[in-house]
Amino acid sequence: MRLILCGFGVVGQSLAKLLESRSEDLYARFGLKPRIVGVFDTKGSAVESAGLDLSKLINVKKKYGTIKKYSSSKNNLSGVDLIKSLDADVLVETTASNYKDAEPGMTHITEAMKHGLHVISVNKGPLALAFPSLMELAIYNQVLLRFSGTVGGGTPILDYAKNSLLGERIVSFEGILNGTTNYILTNMTNGMSFKDALNDAKQKGYVEADESLDLDGLDAAAKLVILANWVMELKVTMPDIKRTGIRNVSADDIKNAAKKNCAVKLIASCNKELIVSPREISLDDPLCVNGTLNAISFTSEHSGTQTIIGRGAGGIETASSIIRDLLDIRQEISKI
Q: What is the pLDDT of residue 336?
A: 66
Burial of residue 34, with CB atoms counted within 10 A of its CB: 0-12 exposed, 13-18 middle, 19 or more buried? buried
Catalytic residue among 223, 235, 255, 265: 223
Name the average pLDDT for the chain: 93
The string of pLDDT tens digits covering residues 269-299 is 999 899 999 999 999 999 999 998 999 999 9
- Among 120-124, 231-235, 310-314, 331-335, the minimum mean pLDDT is found in 310-314
Mean pLDDT for 226-236 is 93
Rounded to whole angstroms, the Cα distance separating 281 from 290 reads 12
Burial of residue 321, with CB atoms counted within 10 A of its CB: 0-12 exposed, 13-18 middle, 19 or more buried? buried
In the three-class reduction of DSSP (H, G, I as helix; E, B as strand; rest coil), residue 266 is classed as strand
| CATH 3.40.250.10, applies to 2-153+315-335 | no
The string of pLDDT tens digits covering residues 76-133 is 999 999 999 999 999 999 999 999 999 999 999 999 999 999 999 999 999 999 999 9
* Tally of CA atoms within 13 A in the half-sphere of 27 that contains its CB: 9
Is residue 332 within 8 Å of 326, Cβ to Cβ?
no
How is the chain split into domains, by residue range? 2-153+315-335, 157-311
Confidence of residue 156 (pLDDT cuts 50, 70, 90): confident
Clarify whether 223 is annotated catalytic: yes
**Per CATH, the architecture of 157-311 is what?**
2-Layer Sandwich (3.30)
Confidence of residue 162 (pLDDT cuts 50, 70, 90): confident
Q: Report in angstroms the alpha-carbon separations of 75 from 33, 43, 48.
A: 25, 9, 11
* H/E segment holding residue 5: strand 2-6
Residue type, 295: A
